[in-house]
Amino acid sequence: MMNTSSLRHLDRNHLLRDFSALVDRERRDTATLLAYIAEIDRRKLYLEHACPSMFAFCTTRFHMSGAMAAKRIRAGRAAYAFPCIFDMVACGELHLSGVHQLAAHLTEDNHKVVLKRAKHKSMREIERLIAELSPKPDVPASIRALPIRKTEDRLPVETAPASAPSAQPSRALPSSATPPSRAVPLSPRRYKLQVTIGEETREKLSELQDLLSHQIPDGDPAKIVERALDALLTETKKRKAALTNRPHRAQKKSGSKTRAIPAQARREVFERDEGRCAFVDTEGRRCSSTWQVEFHHRIPYARGGTHDIDNIELRCRAHNQYEAELEYGALFMETRRHSRSAHGRSG
């Protein structure tokens, strides 16, 4: 554990020299970390450790924050594509945030020039460089009314126009007050959902408001969305996992064999595995991802595996493909995926 009191005896020259050495080492370590992330990501080694993605590997196994993991993964992928980035990070010519922001704008043709221009630039300067590389249209001007605060100990704030960001407000809040945050939760277990919809969707919402006007007199969109999600969730579970309040009994068909998993088996497996990937690594850690969950035969169907529930488990798509590659080989599965993709395009 670091004890800052141990630094108090250092004279200023030693303190600054050690700090400089630490910064240099951190830059080298960051470049090395990006290289490791890029290689683990390329080999998809996170799959064997019960993680469906490199992001999950960083956040669940190594407890990185989501923002930290995303920034390093994106920078690592960019550096793998353009290896000179590793050296620039290691020697302090380019910082991690800069790589993260530039990643989406680098190409084989422009990366040398862009990275040279980004050398030793601040984030604000890099943002201006990105605006030059990928200009966006002006944001339309808008005016909206803000609620008037009734609390007597808070004064209204007059903000400067957007065209003059350096101007100071004419009146400030008292030190005891805090300005409103755009991300303050409304209340426990309540969430804000904001979406953009098209004209047809708006007409559907309006029609539903009319049809449900007896049950929802105020036409609250939140209540309509909740009902719509309930209906869609029920329909999707029924289609994907045969989950229903009135399941049909399975009917045996003599002499028939099909790749399709019977509804009863899908239902029992989905409930048993709680709708989550059941892949477990060598240390007993379960993936548990709910993203793109699929049914997986432990003994493959093509190798004589049955639809018995003991032979079927849920897998996220990443682990389903991972185990298929272990069974049949990566080259075979890649060829098969390309063949399916080509057939889909031709069809």
pLDDT along the chain (347 residues), means of 10: 77 93 97 98 95 95 96 97 97 96 96 97 93 81 58 38 36 37 51 83 91 89 92 90 70 62 92 94 92 92 89 94 89 79 60
pLDDT at 142: 61
For residues 117 and 63, membership in a common domain is answered with yes
Is 237 among the domain residues? yes
For residues 126 and 63, membership in a common domain is answered with yes
For residues 51 and 95, membership in a common domain is answered with yes
For residues 70 and 122, membership in a common domain is answered with yes
Domain count, the chain: 3
Is 91 among the domain residues? yes
For residues 231 and 313, membership in a common domain is answered with no
Q: Which domain holds residue 89?
A: 17-133
For residues 227 and 268, membership in a common domain is answered with no
Is 143 among the domain residues? no
Give the domain-ending residue among 89, 107, 133.
Answer: 133
For residues 27 and 111, membership in a common domain is answered with yes
Is 70 among the domain residues? yes
For residues 269 and 317, membership in a common domain is answered with yes
Is 55 among the domain residues? yes
Cβ-contact 129, 118 below 8 angstroms: yes
Is 318 among the domain residues? yes
pLDDT at 166: 36
Is 253 among the domain residues? no
Give the domain-ending residue among 133, 164, 185.
Answer: 133
pLDDT at 256: 54
Is 90 among the domain residues? yes
For residues 129 and 22, membership in a common domain is answered with yes
For residues 113 and 213, membership in a common domain is answered with no
For residues 276 and 318, membership in a common domain is answered with yes
Give the domain-ending residue among 133, 166, 184.
Answer: 133
Phi then psi for 293, rounded to 5 degrees? -75, 135
pLDDT at 241: 84
For residues 229 and 304, membership in a common domain is answered with no
Residue owning tokens 């590659």? 325
